[in-house]
Chain A
Amino acid sequence: MLGNEAVARGLYEGGVAVVSSYPGTPSTEITEYVSKYDEVYSEWAPNEKVAMEVAFGSAFAGKRSFCGMKHVGLNVAADPLFTISYTGVNAGMVIAVADDPGMHSSQNEQDSRHYARAAKVPMLEPADSSECLKFAKLAFELSERFDTPVLLRLCTRIAHSQSVVETGERVEPEMRTYNKDQVKYVMMPGYARIRHPIVEERMRALTEFAETTDLNRVEMGGRSIGFITSGTSYQYVREAFGDSVSILKLGMVYPLPVKKIRDFAASVERVVVLEELDPFIEEHCRAIGVNVSGKDIFPIVGEFSQNLVREKMGLPVPQGRALEEAIPPRPPVMCAGCPHRGLFYALVRNKATVLGDIGCYALGANAPLFAMDYTICMGASISGLHGFNKARGEEGEKRAVAVIGDSTFMHSGVTGLIDIAYNGSNSTVIIADNSTTGMTGHQPNPTTGENIKGDPAGKVDLAALCRAVGIRRVRVVDPYNLKECEEVIKEELAASEPSVIISRRPCALLKTVRHNPPLRVNVEKCRGCRSCMKIGCPAISFRDKKAKIDNTLCVGCGVCTQMCAFDAFESESGEGAN
């Protein structure tokens, strides 16, 4: 079972009743799997802050709840987290956060363990799918026992690895009674001052729990080296050393035990802390006076592996062969038929400065389009554009645009647009509306008209929403139509008021999308001018000085035909395509 599926199973068995999340690699599948259990209410929320508040509302009301997110999602949800730490819960509440060391699909490499310490909530970290299930289930018990939300930390290699699990039965806890309790739940200064010492007392009790729980287990082997480790790093130690070393394997990474670590350190000759990203456990060890090695040996950046452990610890490292020849890299690309391609080409034609956002369209930054000037975080395209234009004035307004997807606009783009409308910059915002949340694997969102189960649901009308916040110029274009796209962008950049362009065309990978037959190149007509190569379509390559179409990839979108001055692209029937 996939780590994420095992978390979902653990939540289910643990009697979760309400689940609200926002998709984010590598956390997405937890909520997708949970949505298959009919006993559980589940949803995609517009963003992680909303999701965490929905989940908290359920725990407050008396039913066990969950929300899941990627590491950067926890930044968005940090606001509720720090205060629900004070209130505690009524029924159990579990929050999964998935870190991405090595940045397989993320914009930074932050270490979420800092949030556990900063918000003063316990954090568990499983090391395989079996623990994913067990810890998710146990987290509900801890949440209720210590009256606190509980963080469950995953990383890519745990979330996206499958290993064997044993499943159990679902417990169906009764709804807890709801009693109005202002001192506990109304966090005004007077009441919050009462709650803070209770939080400190809870952390003391949790530290005591950390000393005795079998979540933190000692596995004695050879005594020359003792590793303190957790999560996937534990697996790398075992892989490299077998049972020739001793290990303190931490299943709870916050709060950390004191006596248990001191006793373990005393039982071995040398202590090494193995942890990806920041020296979180290492600094704790030093703070309690235990002398350890850690980041003096192992890197603070990137993912670990068994060979890295072998190399840094002086063990023999397996060697591989390599060809002398340079192997060209294969970066991810916009798919054949991707509606973002035409939009970015039209932006290139306008020589636009593009403030980008988080989603598939970040691939517009790659060769050959290079059509992006910045990508920061969810929603930053729009608010950043407003600041850019306030700084550069008209000169900025005439050339800079924001590009943001439909789901990302719902997540945190609309607030930036409100700022533009309210504080008046003549900014041009482009919503790349592909009718889905693409990069994370096609989750519905508030603009798609269906919910997580695929049932009909409320649907936000993007154009009406933009008008409602005060944008008068709202245009809709088809990104497959290069000329229209280019002209509308030109007009809106020139306009002396803020505008929104909705570039609308569903993701080419959606199962509901009907494609045209693949195109082919008429080699008589093709002059080998390479104009069609400017759009970076993976279905078009160059052979024998002529363009060639890969008919297993081409979906007949016709964007290339608009690039060709010689009508060399034809549909299967031999007709020139539109």
Chain B
Amino acid sequence: MTQNIMIVGVGGQGSLLASKLLGRLMMNAGLDVKVSEVHGMSQRGGSVVTYVRAGEKVYSPIIDVGEADYIVSFEILEAARNLKYLAPNGRIVTNTQQVAPMPVITGEAQYPENLAEKIAAAGAEIDAFDALSLAEQAGSSKAVNIVLMGRLSRYLGIGEAEWLKALEETVPPKFLEINKKAFMLGRNAT
């Protein structure tokens, strides 16, 4: 069985490090892994999507509509935008932070309200929490990505030691302590 994890957010939020961590974790578990990223223009504050796929043998580098087992979202509007990618039994793990897109800033559009409730009402499992506060608690607002990975780790059935090993292998040494703290906060905070 191939496991499909989508990481969605706003360009510049750190999804590349999160996907690198997941890729390493899955590779360490002896799985075939494909991670697909988007670079260039989309990174300038636009919607970004990263695909992580792991299994015995992975072919396509992308995750299509109705295929994602998990959608990890840095920003709740992006979770809503990508809801169609969620598999029937999939789960959304999302930061509740709101980042207004330009049409909202300029007043052309409204930022939708109560998105977590609406996503749940559409029949999707959703775990929405304030990852930004936990990241700040860990020592850096930039650690939101690792807080989210900590939260995801509750569901994936891979042991804490394996996660921490993958973290050590992907994060630069000088940021390791903050990121370990961020991971544990994401994993354990209620």
A residues sitting closer than 8 Å to B (CB atoms) are 2, 25-26, 28-29, 104-105, 128, 156-158, 160-164, 232, 235-236, 238-239, 305-307, 317-323, 325-335, 360, 362-363, 366-368, 439-441, 530, 533, 536, 538, 540-542, 550, 552
Min CB distance A442 to B, Å, is 11
Q: Is the CB of A305 within 8 A of B64?
A: yes
Q: Does B11 contact A (CB under 8 A)?
A: yes
Closest to A536 in B: B102
Cβ of B105 within 8 Å of any chain A Cβ, yes or no, is yes
Q: List 19 A-B contacts (CB under 8 A).
A: A26-B40, A28-B39, A162-B23, A232-B60, A235-B59, A238-B59, A318-B67, A320-B86, A321-B83, A325-B80, A325-B118, A331-B46, A333-B102, A362-B41, A533-B107, A541-B104, A542-B105, A542-B107, A550-B99
If A330-B102, A367-B102, A439-B40 touch, whether A335 touches B45 (CB-CB below 8 Å) is: yes
Residues of A within 8 A of B111 (CB): 328
A160 CA / B40 CA spacing, docked (Å):
11
In Å, the complex CA distance between A164 and B34 comes to 8
User: Are the C-beta atoms of A367 and B106 separated by less than 8 Å?
Assistant: yes
With contacts A163-B34, A327-B77, A536-B102 taken as known, whether A321 is within 8 angstroms of B122 at the C-beta atoms is yes
Q: How far is the CB of A162 from chain B (nearest CB, A)?
A: 4
Contact B105 A540 (CB under 8 A): yes
CB distance from B156 to the nearest CB of A (A): 19
Greatest chain A CB density within 10 A among B61, B81, B123 is at B61
Chain A residue at minimal CB-CB distance from B132: A552
Known interface pairs A321-B84, A333-B102; 11 further A-B residue pairs with C-beta atoms within 8 A, sorted by A's residue number: A164-B33, A307-B64, A323-B83, A323-B115, A323-B119, A326-B112, A332-B45, A368-B106, A533-B106, A541-B105, A550-B99
Indicate which residue in A29, A327, A367 contacts B81 across the interface (CB closer than 8 Å): A327
Residues of A within 8 A of B40 (CB): 25-26, 104-105, 439-440
Do the beta carbons of B105 and A305 come within 8 Å of each other? no
- Report A-chain residues with C-beta under 8 Å of the C-beta of B46: 330-333
Q: Which residues of B contact A366 (CB under 8 A)?
A: 102
Across-interface contacts of A320 in B (CB, < 8 A): 65-66, 83-86
Considering the complex, give the chain B residue whose CB is closest to the CB of A540. B105
Is A105 within 8 A of B42, CB to CB? Answer: yes
Question: Which B residues lie within 8 Å of A325 (CB)?
Answer: 80, 112, 118
Q: Which residues of A contact B59 (CB under 8 A)?
A: 235-236, 238-239
Tell me the bound Cα distance from A538 to B32 in angstroms: 39
Which of chain B's residues have a CB closer than 8 A to the CB of A335?
A: 12, 44-45
Set of chain B residues within 8 Å of A128, measured between Cβ atoms: 34, 61
Across the interface, A332 reaches (CB within 8 A) one of B43, B77, B78, namely B43
Does chain A have a CB within 8 A of B101? yes
Q: Across the interface, do A332 and B34 meet the contact criterion of CB distance under 8 Å?
A: no
A329 to B100, CA, bound (A): 10
User: How many residues from B make CB contacts under 8 Å with A?
Assistant: 60
- B108 adjacent to A367 (CB under 8 Å): yes
In the docked arrangement, what's the CA distance between A323 and B119, Å?
Answer: 7
Do the beta carbons of B60 and A306 come within 8 Å of each other? Answer: yes
Q: Given A164-B33, A538-B105: A323 and B100 within 8 A (CB)?
A: no
Q: Is B103 an interface residue (CB 8 A)?
A: yes
A164, A318, A367, A536: the one within 8 Å of B65 (CB) = A318
B47 at the interface (CB under 8 A from A): yes
B37 at the interface (CB under 8 A from A): yes
B23 / chain A contacts, CB cutoff of 8 Å: 162
Say yes or no for B124: interface residue by CB 8 A criterion: yes
Contact call B61/A334, Cβ cutoff below 8 A: no
A547 → chain B closest CB, angstroms: 10
| Least CB distance, B82 to chain A, in whole angstroms | 9
Across-interface contacts of A163 in B (CB, < 8 A): 32-35, 58, 61
The interface residues of chain B lying within 8 Å CB-to-CB of A104 are: 38-42
Given contacts A104-B38, A162-B34, A164-B27, contact A330 B83 (CB under 8 A): no
Q: Which of B104, B106, B119 has the most CB of A within 10 A?
A: B106
Residues of chain A within 8 A (CB-CB) of B103 are 328-329, 331, 367
Would you call A322 and B38 a contact (CB within 8 A)?
no
Whether B77 contacts A330 by the Cβ 8 Å rule is yes
Cβ of A398 to closest chain B Cβ, rounded Å: 30
Least CB distance, B37 to chain A, in whole angstroms = 5
**Closest beta carbon of chain A to B132's beta carbon, Å:** 8
Q: Are A533 and B77 in contact (CB-based, < 8 A)?
A: no
B17 at the interface (CB under 8 A from A): no
* Identity of the chain B residue whose Cβ is nearest the Cβ of A331 in the assembled complex: B46
Distance in Å: Cβ of A109 to nearest Cβ of chain B: 14
Q: Which of A161, A317, A328 has the most CB of B within 10 A?
A: A328
Contact A327 B112 (CB under 8 A): yes
CA distance A320 to B99 in the complex (A): 25
Interface residues of B in 111-146 (CB under 8 A from A): 111-112, 115, 118-119, 122-124, 141
